[in-house]
Amino acid sequence: MNLGLSDHLKTAFPNVTPEVRPLVINKPIADPQWLAGFASAEGCFFIGIHKSSTIKVGVNVQLEFQVTQHKRDEFLIKSIIEYLNCGNALQSKNVFRYRVSKFSDRLPLGDDPREGDLTDKIIPFFKKYPILGIKLKDFMDFCTVVNEK
């Protein structure tokens, strides 16, 4: 985050007047098109393929939708969870990550259904409110792997 000039620079440039920054008020997500546009810019449809000796075919496929932001945007990440009613938030160092990686039909009994729903919530949401731009190709590939054409 830009905190302005250091004391050393203020001394070196005494005639510089700092710009007044507006206070940003956190608001919950109110428009699905806004969320689709935000995901077009900041979202990731991740497909990971890893070798695995414990799986019969020898590989494990990991599917995940995620949005990563600076820790100051924790409210936004939690608003996405609330709006889509799925996923979870992970924090590491200065980063907050929204993540959905489970399939609702594979949740074991007793698991929190808010932590899944790629097939029931994420894919239907982006089919109804389409991703625009180049990330649409990523979404289409993601749907192909999930077998949701």
List the chain pLDDT tens, one digit each, 149 residues: 566 778 898 899 988 887 777 877 888 899 999 999 999 999 999 999 989 888 888 888 889 999 999 998 999 999 999 999 999 999 998 999 999 987 755 445 445 544 458 988 999 999 999 999 999 999 999 999 888 65
Whole-prediction pTM: 0.75
CA–CA separation, 38 and 41 (whole Å): 5
Give pLDDT, residue 60: 85
- In order of start, what are the domains of the chain with their CATH numbers? 28-146 (3.10.28.10)
Alpha carbon separation from 103 to 17, 60, 75, 123 (Å, rounded): 53, 15, 25, 11
- Tokens 């949401």 belong to which residue? 125
Give pLDDT, residue 26: 86
Give pLDDT, residue 2: 62
